[in-house]
Amino acid sequence: MFKPNDQHRQIGMFNSIYNLPSKQLKQLEDSWAGTFHREYFCRIDETPFAKMFSEEPSRPNYPVNVLVGLDTLKAGFGWSDEELYENFCFNLQVRYAVGCCDMEEGYFDLRTLYYHRQRVSQHMQKTGENLYEQAFEQVTDEQATAFQLKTGKLRMDSTQIASNIREMSRLQLLVEVLQRVHRMLSENDQKCYKDDFEPYLQGTSGQYVYRIKGGEAADHLQPIGGLMHLLVEELRDNYGEEPTYQMLVRVFQEHFTCDDENDLRPRKGEELSAGSLQSPDDWEATYRRKDDEGYRGYVANLTETCDPDNDFQLINKVQIEPNTTEDADMLLEALPDLKVRTDVKQMHTDGGYGSPDVDEAMRKAKVEQIQTAVRGRKPAEEKMGLEDFDWEIDEDGRPQEVICPHGQRVEVRPGREKHRYLAYFSGAVCQDCPFFDQCPTKHLKRKPRQVLRFSQQETDLALRRKRSADMRTSGKNLRAGAESMMQSVKHRYRNGKLAVRGMSRVTMMFISSAAMTNIRRIRGYEEKLREEKRKAKAIQKETEEAFKNIFRYFCGFLKWLVPGEKYSKLVPLWLPV
Cα 534 to Cα 262: distance, rounded to the nearest angstrom: 82
Cα 63 to Cα 70: distance, rounded to the nearest angstrom: 11
| pLDDT of amino acid 159 | 93
Strand-pairing partners, residue 424, are 451
What is the percent of the chain where pLDDT is above 70? 94
| pLDDT at position 13 over 90 | no
Least confident of 165-174, 200-209, 567-576: 567-576
| pLDDT of amino acid 376 | 65
Please work out, in degrees rounded to the nearest 5, the angle formed at the alpha carbon of residue 562 by the alpha carbons of 560 and 568: 105
Strand-pairing partners, residue 293, are 290
Considering 6-15, 71-80, 444-453, the range whose residues carry the highest mean pLDDT is: 71-80
| pLDDT at position 577 over 50 | no
Question: Is residue 279 classed as helix, strand or coil in its secondary structure?
Answer: strand
Amino acid letter for position 122: Q
Strand-pairing partners, residue 140, are none
- With CA atoms as reference, report the closest residue to 139 among 55, 39, 238: 39
Reported as a single tens digit per residue, the pLDDT across 324-357 is 999 999 999 999 999 999 999 999 999 899 999 9
Q: How many residues does the chain have?
A: 577
Question: Is residue 33 classed as helix, strand or coil in its secondary structure?
Answer: helix
| pLDDT of amino acid 57 | 81
Mean pLDDT, the chain, integer? 90
What is the percent of the chain where pLDDT is above 90? 63
Other CB atoms within 10 Å distance of the CB of residue 93: 16
Cα 214 to Cα 210: distance, rounded to the nearest angstrom: 9
Please say whether the beta carbons of 525 and 311 come within 8 A: yes
Overall average pLDDT of the 114-138 stretch: 94
Reported as a single tens digit per residue, the pLDDT across 396-434 is 888 999 999 989 999 999 988 888 999 999 988 888 888
Reported as a single tens digit per residue, the pLDDT across 511-544 is 999 999 999 999 999 999 999 999 999 999 999 8
Q: Which domains does the chain have, with CATH numbers?
A: 1-129 (no CATH), 132-165+290-372+477-548 (3.30.420.10), 170-280 (no CATH), 386-456 (no CATH)
Other CB atoms within 10 Å distance of the CB of residue 193: 17
Please say whether the beta carbons of 99 and 38 come within 8 A: no
- With CA atoms as reference, report the closest residue to 433 among 384, 379, 381: 384
Overall average pLDDT of the 1-6 stretch: 84
Reported as a single tens digit per residue, the pLDDT across 234-266 is 999 999 999 999 999 999 999 999 876 678 999
Reported as a single tens digit per residue, the pLDDT across 127-141 is 999 999 999 999 999
Cα 329 to Cα 73: distance, rounded to the nearest angstrom: 31
| pLDDT of amino acid 12 | 64
The dihedral region occupied by 257, where left means phi > 0, alpha psi between -120 and 50, and beta the remainder, is beta
Higher pLDDT, residue 565 or 402: 402
| pLDDT of amino acid 260 | 64
| pLDDT of amino acid 276 | 93
| pLDDT of amino acid 558 | 65
